[in-house]
């Protein structure tokens, strides 16, 4: 049983995490920015130093390719994630998966192993989607889900054009996206949720990824004086809105399903102390790993909104903001993750990814799975994002085992 070099891995995570900080120490490497370039340059430096072949495709995805003797004719095993960040980010999200992939490759190289197929570390462009929409853009282009020219023409929140930004920072490569069609894809990532930590479980064998439904709901009632309008004569858009999130929580608790529902944004109009809200605008984020159940939940919400409209005397309109179907990962890779954890004496559990990841795109073209490690307090997208060094090492060792099983014993 081999082991990665935890010190090297964690040192690189911290070093990359120091790139792109502002005067207040806030870490931000938005896709295509100067900070992104600095992070990419550091990554490419490490990839080259490890003796890997670097390929940059037209959408800026970075690949570090380790071809061994006699394996060039085989489809590569791809590992990776992303190194772009949200605003005021933590240092683990994405970067851990990319740097652990590089660490696994270097470990195998150092061990003198000759894999049966090339092994590739990938860092996909604009996974976070903070500056350019959609998120997971680079991996989406890689799997052919979005034409590269359309993706390059994407306008950012700051008015910048993605293609121009990639050229400006020197990462508009020449390679046509999708040139590497992987034999399989494995992504190691922090959980970004509380489950593993709460349970004291070291390894999540991620067997599927939730479907996501985002809707914006607008409720129109009637504004009236808060003092002079009897309760029974009101059409209070705020109270109508209040019922929705509470109903969804109750419904999900009753249904005993793994669905989650979140009302994350809320705005009242006119938003005055002594005026009954005439309008409430809010978002509903629904997720479930099962497409049928997600559709059923959407239908339950629609029925409830119709009931609320009737009962509260308000008008309700709904706008769809985003919709992704659930993804089922490859059972053989998931089993390999569990087997590795068992062998290493690490507690593991099968689980669902609640967030979107590049793996959900790669699953369209290759057997794919993910490995999760615990996130302290479930916190992510925040400077307080943290995973213990032992957990980081354990996850990378499980990745090493899975890579050996897929690429070295074939």
* Closest CB 59 distance from its own copies, rounded Å: 24
- The region of 28-36, 172-180, 264-272, 363-371 touching its own copies under the rule CB under 8 A is 264-272
258 binds its own copies (CB under 8 A): yes
* Closest CB 8 distance from its own copies, rounded Å: 29
161 binds its own copies (CB under 8 A): no
- The region of 52-60, 252-260, 290-298, 327-335 touching its own copies under the rule CB under 8 A is 252-260
Q: Which residue has the tokens 């992939």?
A: 101
- List, in order, residues 6 or more apart from 372 with CB less than 8 Å away: 189, 190, 191, 196, 203, 204, 206, 351, 353, 395
Q: Which of 214, 296, 315, 376 binds its own copies (CB under 8 A)?
A: 214
318 binds its own copies (CB under 8 A): no
* Closest CB 378 distance from its own copies, rounded Å: 5
* Closest CB 287 distance from its own copies, rounded Å: 5
> What are the start-end ranges of the E strands in 325-386?
327-328, 348-353, 368-373
**For residue 124, which phi and psi values (nearest 5 degrees)?**
-85, 145
d(CA 123, CA 383): 21
d(CA 286, CA 262): 7
Cβ atoms within 10 Å, residue 267: 13
268 binds its own copies (CB under 8 A): yes
Specify which residues 216 forms β-bridges with.
283, 319
Cβ-based burial of 228 (10 A; exposed 0-12, middle 13-18, buried ≥19): exposed
* Closest CB 187 distance from its own copies, rounded Å: 15
Specify which residues 328 forms β-bridges with.
208
Q: Which of 242, 335, 339, 365 binds its own copies (CB under 8 A)?
A: 242
Q: Which of 61, 85, 126, 353 binds its own copies (CB under 8 A)?
A: 353
Strand 203-209 and strand 348-353: the pairing is parallel
287 binds its own copies (CB under 8 A): yes
- List, in order, residues 6 or more apart from 127 with CB less than 8 Å away: 31, 81, 82, 84, 94, 135, 136, 137, 138, 139, 357, 358
d(CA 35, CA 23): 13
- The region of 165-173, 242-250, 329-337, 393-401 touching its own copies under the rule CB under 8 A is 242-250
Q: Which of 147, 153, 246, 332 binds its own copies (CB under 8 A)?
A: 246
405 binds its own copies (CB under 8 A): no
d(CA 410, CA 260): 40
Q: Which of 127, 236, 290, 391 binds its own copies (CB under 8 A)?
A: 236
Q: Which of 161, 195, 296, 318 binds its own copies (CB under 8 A)?
A: 195
Q: Which of 5, 229, 295, 325 binds its own copies (CB under 8 A)?
A: 229
Q: Which stretches of the chain bind its own copies, using CB under 8 A? A: 191-195, 198, 210, 212, 214, 224-233, 236, 238-239, 241-243, 245-246, 249, 252-253, 258-268, 271-277, 280, 283, 285, 287, 321, 353-356, 378-381
């Amino acid at each position: 049983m081999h082991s990665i070099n935890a010190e090297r891995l964690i040192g690189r995570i911290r070093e990359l995490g120091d790139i792109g900080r502002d005067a207040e120490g806030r870490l931000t490497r938005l896709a295509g920015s100067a900070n992104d370039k600095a992070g990419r340059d550091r990554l490419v430096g490490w990839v080259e130093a490890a003796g890997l072949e670097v390929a940059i495709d037209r959408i800026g995805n970075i690949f570090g390719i380790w071809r061994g003797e006699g394996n060039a004719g085989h489809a590569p095993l791809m590992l990776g994630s992303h190194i772009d960040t949200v605003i005021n980010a933590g240092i683990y999200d994405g970067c851990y998966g990319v740097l652990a992939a590089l660490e696994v490759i270097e470990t195998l190289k150092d061990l003198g192993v000759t894999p049966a197929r090339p092994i590739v570390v990938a860092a996909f462009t604009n996974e976070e989607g903070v500056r350019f929409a959609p998120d997971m853009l680079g991996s989406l282009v890689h799997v052919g889900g979005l034409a590269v020219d359309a993706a390059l023409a994407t306008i950012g929140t700051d008015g910048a054009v993605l293609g121009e930004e990639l050229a400006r920072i020197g990462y508009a490569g020449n390679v046509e996206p999708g040139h590497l069609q992987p034999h399989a894809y494995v992504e190691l990532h922090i959980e970004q949720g509380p489950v593993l930590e709460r349970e004291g479980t070291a390894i999540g064998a991620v067997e599927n990824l939730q479907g996501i439904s985002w809707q914006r709901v607008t409720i129109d009632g009637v504004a009236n004086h808060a003092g002079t309008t009897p309760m029974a004569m009101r059409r209070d858009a705020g109270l109508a809105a209040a019922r929705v999130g509470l109903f969804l929580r109750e419904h999900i608790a009753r249904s005993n399903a793994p669905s989650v529902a979140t009302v994350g944004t809320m705005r009242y109009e006119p938003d005055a102390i002594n005026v009954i809200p005439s309008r409430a605008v809010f978002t509903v984020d629904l997720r479930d790993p099962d497409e049928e159940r997600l559709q059923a939940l959407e239908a339950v919400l629609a029925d409830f909104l119709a009931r609320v409209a009737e009962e509260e005397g308000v008008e309700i309109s709904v706008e769809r903001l985003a919709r992704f179907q659930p993804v089922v990962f490859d059972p053989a890779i998931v089993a390999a993750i569990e087997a590795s954890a068992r062998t290493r004496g690490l507690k593991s559990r099968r689980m669902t990814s609640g967030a979107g990841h590049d793996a959900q795109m790669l699953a369209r073209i290759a057997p794919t799975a993910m490995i999760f490690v615990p996130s302290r307090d479930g916190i992510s997208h925040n400077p307080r994002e943290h995973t213990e060094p032992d957990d980081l090492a354990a996850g990378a060792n499980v990745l090493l085992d899975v890579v050996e099983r897929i690429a070295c014993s074939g």
